[in-house]
Amino acid sequence: MEFSELIKTATVEDVLLSRPGVAAVRGTLCITSHHLLLSSCPRGDLELWLLIRNVDAVEKRWARPQSCRCRRARAGGSPPVPGTPRAPRCPARPCPSSSSPCWRGRAGMDSSPPQSAQFRLVPPPRSGGSLRDTRVSGSSGTVTLRCKDLRVLQLEIPGMEQCLDVAGSIEALCSLDSVMLTYPFFHRPPGLRLQHGWHRAVPERHLQRVASQTSQWRLSSVNGDFGACPSYPRAVLVPAALGDEAVAKAARFRQGGRFPVLCYFHPKNGTALLRSSQPLTGPNRRRCREDEQLLGTVLGEGERGFVIDTRSAQAAKQARMSGGGTEPKSSYPRWRRLHRALERGRPLQESFARLVEACSDPALSMERWLGRLEGSRWLSHVKAALSTACLAAQCLDREGCKVLVHGAEGTDTTLLVTALAQLILDPACRTLEGFQELLEREWIQAGHPFQLRCARSACSHARGKQEAPVFLLFLDCVWQLSRQFPFSLEFGEQLLLTLFDNAYASAYGTFLCNNEKERSLCKVRESTHSLWAWLNQPEEKHKYLNPLYSHNPLVIWPSVEPQSIQLWQGFFLRWIRPSQHLDEAWVEIQRLVQGKNSSLQESTGKRLSQPLPEPSAGTENGETGTAGTR
Amino acid sequence: MEHIRMPKVENVRLLDRLSSRRAVVGTLYLTATHVIFVENGSETRKETWVLHSQISSIEKQATTATGCPLLIRCKNFQVIHLVIPQERDCHDVYISLIRLARPVKYEELYCFSFNPKLDKEEREQGWKLVDLNEEYNRMGVPNNYWQISDVNRDYGVCDSYPTEVYVPKSATAHIIVGSSKFRSRRRFPALSYYCKGNNASICRSSQPLSGFSARCLEDEQMLQAIRKANPGSDFIYVVDTRPKLNAMANRAAGKGYENEDNYSNIKFQFIGIENIHVMRNSLQKMLEVCELKSPSMSDFLWGLENSGWLKHIKAIMDAGIFIAKVLIEKDWISFGHKFNHRYGNLDGDPKEISPVIDQFIECVWQLMEQFPCAFEFNERFLIHIQHHIYSCQFGNFLCNSQKERRELKIKERTYSLWAHLWKNRADYLNPLYRSDHSQTQGTLHPQIAPCNFLYKFWSGMYNRFEKGLHPRQSVTDYLMAVKEETQQLEEELEVLQERLANLQKSQSGNNKVKSKQQDRSKQFGLYTSNNSLANTPQEYSNDLKSFPSRSPSQGDEDSALILTQDNLKSSDPDLSANSDQESGVEDLSCRSPSGGGCLPSEDSGKDSDEAVFLAG
């Protein structure tokens, strides 16, 4: 298939782009196979690059000047201020004078890799001249692009036909199914080599580390050809006491072959966190000796373990009707089951959509806003996810018990809980590198179906069955942790935002496909670049670091009271709230910390550069030091 | 003290607000000024001190098998839940506290007995820290348009105004007196804020006694004079902070609002800030939400919405923004009714029981959240002020007016909070504040209409005694330490440079620097130790009873509840900056979740034995 077949119009002149909070730009629109490109006219000093994959929904509207809407919205706003030029013209638009720096600021701040949407400022910088006034007369259409990263772009396109063509082309391009046609297979960033960064995708390093800490677990290649479980990586950790044959049999008793594997070994007390999918007990209460054996050997003499089921007890019971189920007490007498119902699937997706809708509704009153926030239930999901992860962590760290986590398929809420629990328990996961490794292990390799779950974001009208923002929920929980423990994570909010953007639309292959098997079939590793390679370049990396970080060897126990759970404004209001003052504060924090570091360095340097008159003075304590002044 | 029926009760249990399972046993003491709870057993014998003046309500609940519960709610949002073994003791404590918490005479207030051991001069100095006249001078008055009037010399015109009032130069004593007679409680329009840049100003007054049709020539002249005091403007805004309906209803009582027809060149604007009764109820509702035991996210958000508190905060902010905007517009503005009480200076009056001052403080906090670099002070400063408004430990917030304060000789007999705060100012600084930062220049422009979501629940205030709820690493403290360290390093650098220069001259060394360096590492240790705060789990499940219900060391950590005698005498009882030092204690007391049959979600053995083994 040729991309050119899908592109009905490649170039459109005189297109007006407007976004909330930023001055409108007029320019020429180009549609390429993967990008939407708008370069401002007449000077061409500004370019918008939007990855078409980032488009979530395309809406068309006819010749309605957009200022009408603004006016209506304003009439419903706060007390009118007669004759005040500073009064906002449009609800989400700060005063025009500030929108120009805002634009530039955004462009500068836009630290996501250049694929999802980037504005390049070609010098000289434009003055924030108002282009809005020169509206095209005659027929024109408006195409509204709602992006997966929640940005909203409005394109005013002259001519009805052109407008339809543009909308049609974008729609066709953004819903391409084939993975091999996506941008990562074409993206060749300068300065990066293809193999770079993919070494991170190899789980063996972690596995070897665990194997060095304990002899109870061994690296198994039972899934070497993805035969036992198509959604597991080739190498997994299983109990050392059990042979591969038994493991393969146990796999057949678990949905999708996801037999219990080790995902985290807690060195402090030798306990372990395992995950799997539900056992296929079914209505006839089938049993599987090997599965019972597997879980049995995990526990030492007289030990008890916990099974944390991410479904309610009732839902777990109901799952038996469709062949699933849970570990019955009679067959697994040493495992105690705890049920923690976590939302998943369609309801979670709807919760996300409702919240995004509430956030972008400017006419909401304070009361209605809180009602809508509550009604979306998103924060309840955050609270539930965090609580369950804490429960798992508590069982491990405080009770010294082994924990098995599973829901139904074991690819969504299961991973949410295990990944969060590790972040809470393990200081190594809280570094930038460790976090990348955690994502790689617990999300990508562990078979979270990114392609299915992240196909659509909050604004899409398509009502797919597979989409669910589980990964976003994870990122939100991480953000909650970072808010409660501002020094304990080495990375900042910007990394979480970038990860979200890339999970939904990326120039890199890291989040492509649904599991390792698919990735290997599509040759993702051979033909695309790794996101990690991009992020870890020094000039990129510094954007994601938390200046306040200092290594915290302890377990971080977050508060899960409602008062402590906050809306992640940086994500949900990223394109809506004015961030200038907060950004300034962030810069100030960086300045303070860097100021310290540089003066520390300088003074250390000075100290070192000093000739050492008496070598003894350097090693002795202060008192003899002062004695040395004689 | 004749009011104390029961000076000491033993074996009292202090319950934890978040979890009934973490209770401590101790002895309760009632003193002339405080309720004191001393924990039994532990080596440290932790103490909880509560000033009587902080008590807002006492509730005796139905006696249970374990004793008689007594709930003490404080004005600083602390809630103390005691269980007293004997009902009779509980009753005595209850009766005593009811009396102690409602002093009838000012002299009973703590500030008259509080003695921070300062000499007379220091105390007087404290009262001079904030001088209103100086504040007005900073604004640029008196000048060609505004002057000090002595019309209220002996509080003859208005007893709730200070003796010195700024009024337009063209307003004669006759006009002022005439106008005052037409205003509620004779609060005539007087200058509140003057904007040097453009001659704009904010005046405030009470509502006019207009009824349905009454007029007052002098009052009209007064507003005219105010308008003329800004030669650049043709009209003034009169802002009535009430909802229009309330204002109209007031007309029936002979009060009301200015009629635009009678006053030339005024523009009238209602801003629907609800009255104090609505506000009080709203706060009450919100505090009930804060007190809920393990609420779900929905309970909390729904309760928050239902309380309407954030709506009121937003209404006030909108009003403030509107007025500020008008000021920028170089217009004149004169306030209607009670604005002083709502936005008023901190010499406001504590007896008017309503949360207006809390709301003002919260509004400042909301602004701080939006403009993190704009304020020189930090959140702790606001919380401490709020605490002391009700603590009555200092004389500043006593009485209803300057007149009463003078009569009581407050300045001679009590201490000033400002001096106290000033002494500890290092604790209250915002590390992000820089006088040359853009956010500190000129006016702030907060977002309005569409930004409801910017107004947040302030758990730092309303749940401030539930430390487990808050971020357990303080960015403010960290940055302050960083700042201080940087400064030390820079000093050290200077020394080193000097030394290097000297060394180059002669080869003699001195090791002064070394000791400096050690200071620094000590300092560094102070804030890195904050990390240990992270180390306590919370209650993560309501039903999993056998898990430790709450952060075990939270009780230890919660030194907000714990005051030592020294603290009390000298500085802030509750809010020491380093209060969290001792946390991070490992919890060893957790019980096993496998203990007992309290695992409700456990599959109750319904799996029958007719299981079929999977073939293969």
pLDDT of A473 above 90: yes
Residues in chain A within 8 Å Cβ distance of B509: 610, 613-614, 617, 628-629
How many Å lie between the alpha carbon of A369 and the closest alpha carbon of chain B?
7
Output the pLDDT for position B183: 87
The contacts of residue A443 (CB under 8 Å, 6+ apart) are: A415, A419, A450, A471, A474
Contact B528 A550 (CB under 8 A): yes
Closest Cβ opposite residue B298 in set A330, A331, A380: A380
Whether residue A279 is preceded by a cis peptide bond, meaning omega within 30 degrees of 0, is no
Contact A82 B267 (CB under 8 A): yes
Residues in chain A within 8 Å Cβ distance of B311: 365-367
Contact B590 A398 (CB under 8 A): yes
Residue A280 DSSP SS3: coil
User: What secondary structure does DSSP assign to A224-258, as a single string?
Assistant: TTS-S-TTS-S-EEEETTS-HHHHHHHHHTBGGG-
User: Chain centroid to CA B525: how far?
Assistant: 31
Residues in chain A within 8 Å Cβ distance of B611: 285-287, 328, 330-331
Q: What percent of chain B has pLDDT over 90?
A: 0
CA dist A418 and A424 (Å) reads 10
Q: Does A391 touch chain B (CB under 8 A)?
A: yes
Q: What tokens were used for B531?
A: 């990390």
Q: Does A71 touch chain B (CB under 8 A)?
A: no
Rg (CA), chain A: 27
Q: At what angle do helices A378-397 and A345-359 cross, to 10 degrees?
A: 130
Question: Longest C-alpha distance within chain B, in Å?
Answer: 107
HSE-CB for B185 with a 13 A CA cutoff? 11
**Residue B191 banded pLDDT, cuts 50, 70, 90:** confident
CA dist B327 and B335 (Å) reads 12
User: Dihedral angle at the C-alpha atoms of B422, B426, B432, B434, nearest 10 degrees?
Assistant: 60
Q: Does B231 touch chain A (CB under 8 A)?
A: no
Q: What residue in A sits closest to B439 (Cα-Cα)?
A: A581
In terms of Cα–Cα distance, which of B380, B302, B310, B385 is closest to B348?
B385
Map tokens 């000739």 to a residue. A611
Cβ neighbours, 10 Å, residue B345: 12
CA dist A498 and A507 (Å) reads 12
Q: Where are the alpha helices (DSSP H) in B394-474?
A: 402-408, 410-413, 417-423, 459-462
Contact B322 A599 (CB under 8 A): no
Across B102-125, average pLDDT? 75
Q: Does A181 touch chain B (CB under 8 A)?
A: no
In terms of Cα–Cα distance, which of A514, A497, A505 is closest to A456?
A505
Across A144-173, average pLDDT? 89
pLDDT of B446 above 70: no
Residue type (1 letter), A60: K
H/E run at residue A281: none
Output the pLDDT for position A582: 82
CA dist B449 and A78 (Å) reads 5
Taking a contact as any Cβ pair under 8 Å apart, which residues of chain B between 527 and 586 contact chain A? 528, 530-532, 534-538, 540-541, 544, 547-548, 551, 584
Q: What tokens were used for B146?
A: 């505004």
Q: Does B285 touch chain A (CB under 8 A)?
A: no
Residue A563 DSSP SS3: helix
CA dist B458 and B382 (Å) reads 12
**Residue A430 banded pLDDT, cuts 50, 70, 90:** very high
Output the pLDDT for position B1: 56
CA dist B577 and B429 (Å) reads 12
Whether residue B243 is preceded by a cis peptide bond, meaning omega within 30 degrees of 0, is no
Contact A548 B499 (CB under 8 A): no
Question: Longest C-alpha distance within chain A, in Å?
Answer: 92
Closest Cβ opposite residue A77 in set B311, B449, B530: B449
How many Å lie between the alpha carbon of B377 and the closest alpha carbon of chain A?
15
Contact A371 B305 (CB under 8 A): yes
Output the pLDDT for position A621: 38
Contact between residue A319 and residue A344 where contact means Cβ atoms under 8 Å apart? no
Output the pLDDT for position B516: 41
Q: What tokens were used for A258?
A: 């996801």
Across B337-362, average pLDDT? 50
How many Å lie between the alpha carbon of B467 and the closest alpha carbon of chain A?
10
> What pTM was computed for the model?
0.79
Cβ neighbours, 10 Å, residue B92: 18
CA dist A572 and A361 (Å) reads 12
Output the pLDDT for position B441: 58
Residues in chain B within 8 Å Cβ distance of A629: 509-512
CA dist A499 and A460 (Å) reads 20
Output the pLDDT for position A369: 84
Q: At what angle do helices B309-328 and A366-376 cross, to 10 degrees?
A: 130
User: Chain centroid to CA B430: how far?
Assistant: 16
How many Å lie between the alpha carbon of B576 and the closest alpha carbon of chain A?
20
In terms of Cα–Cα distance, which of B184, B250, B181, B239 is closest to B212?
B250
10 Å CB burial of residue B264 (0-12, 13-18, 19+) is: exposed
Residues in chain B within 8 Å Cβ distance of A603: 489, 492-493, 496
Contact between residue A511 and residue A450 where contact means Cβ atoms under 8 Å apart? yes
**Residue B248 banded pLDDT, cuts 50, 70, 90:** confident
Contact between residue B495 and residue B516 where contact means Cβ atoms under 8 Å apart? yes
Closest Cβ opposite residue A380 in set B296, B318, B584: B296
CA dist A264 and A267 (Å) reads 9
Contact A555 B512 (CB under 8 A): no
pLDDT of B212 above 80: yes
Q: Does A92 touch chain B (CB under 8 A)?
A: yes
CA dist A430 and A167 (Å) reads 43
pLDDT of A267 above 70: yes
Which region among A65-69, A95-99, B304-308 has the lowest average model confidence (pLDDT)? A95-99
Residue A282 DSSP SS3: coil
Closest Cβ opposite residue B610 in set A285, A326, A582: A285
CA dist A244 and B96 (Å) reads 75
- pLDDT tens for each residue of B37-60: 988 876 767 888 888 888 888 898
How many Å lie between the alpha carbon of A343 and the closest alpha carbon of chain B?
14
- pLDDT tens for each residue of A492-530: 999 999 999 999 999 999 999 999 999 999 998 888 999
- pLDDT tens for each residue of B412-440: 777 777 777 777 777 888 888 776 666 65
Contact between residue B473 and residue A579 where contact means Cβ atoms under 8 Å apart? no
Beta strands B146-149; B165-168: pairing state: antiparallel
Q: What's the Cα-to-Cα distance from B82 to each of A249, B34, B86, B464, rounded to whole Å?
A: 59, 15, 12, 19
How many Å lie between the alpha carbon of B483 and the closest alpha carbon of chain A?
6
Taking a contact as any Cβ pair under 8 Å apart, which residues of chain A between 287 and 316 contact chain B? 287-289, 304, 306, 313
Average pLDDT, chain B: 71
Rg (CA), chain B: 29
Q: What tokens were used for B183?
A: 């205003």
More confident residue, A178 or B508: A178
Across A383-404, average pLDDT? 93
Q: At what angle do helices A413-425 and A378-397 cross, to 10 degrees?
A: 60
pLDDT of B470 above 50: yes
CA dist B150 and B190 (Å) reads 12
The contacts of residue A72 (CB under 8 Å, 6+ apart) are: none
Cβ neighbours, 10 Å, residue B553: 21
10 Å CB burial of residue A178 (0-12, 13-18, 19+) is: exposed
**Residue B327 banded pLDDT, cuts 50, 70, 90:** low
Size of interface A-B (CB pairs under 8 A): 329
How many Å lie between the alpha carbon of B469 and the closest alpha carbon of chain A?
5
HSE-CB for A334 with a 13 A CA cutoff? 17
Average pLDDT, chain A: 81
Residue type (1 letter), A474: F
Contact A370 B305 (CB under 8 A): yes
More confident residue, A454 or A87: A454
- Phi and psi at residue A405, in whole multiples of 5°? -110, 130
Q: What residue in A sits closest to B270 (Cα-Cα)?
A: A79
Q: Does B214 touch chain A (CB under 8 A)?
A: no
Output the pLDDT for position B554: 33
CA dist B570 and B563 (Å) reads 11
Output the pLDDT for position A100: 29
Which residues in B569-607 are b (16+ Cβ under 10 Å) and which e? eebbbbbbbebbeebbeebeebeebbeeeebebebeeeb
Contact B603 A337 (CB under 8 A): yes
Contact B450 A363 (CB under 8 A): yes
Output the pLDDT for position A75: 34
Contact A288 B613 (CB under 8 A): yes
CA dist A513 and A509 (Å) reads 9
- pLDDT tens for each residue of A297-317: 999 888 899 999 999 999 999
Q: Does A587 touch chain B (CB under 8 A)?
A: no
Q: What residue in B sits closest to A368 (Cα-Cα)?
A: B305
Q: What residue in A sits closest to B599 (Cα-Cα)?
A: A338
Output the pLDDT for position B526: 35
CA dist A47 and A50 (Å) reads 10
Contact B613 A563 (CB under 8 A): no
Output the pLDDT for position A86: 37
Q: Where are the alpha helices (DSSP H) in B41-128?
A: 87-101, 120-128
**Residue A571 banded pLDDT, cuts 50, 70, 90:** very high
The contacts of residue B202 (CB under 8 Å, 6+ apart) are: B191, B192, B193, B194, B323, B327, B333, B334, B335
Output the pLDDT for position B539: 66
Q: Does A38 touch chain B (CB under 8 A)?
A: no
Q: What percent of chain A has pLDDT over 90?
A: 40
H/E run at residue A64: none
Q: What tokens were used for A9?
A: 């119009």
Contact A563 B457 (CB under 8 A): yes
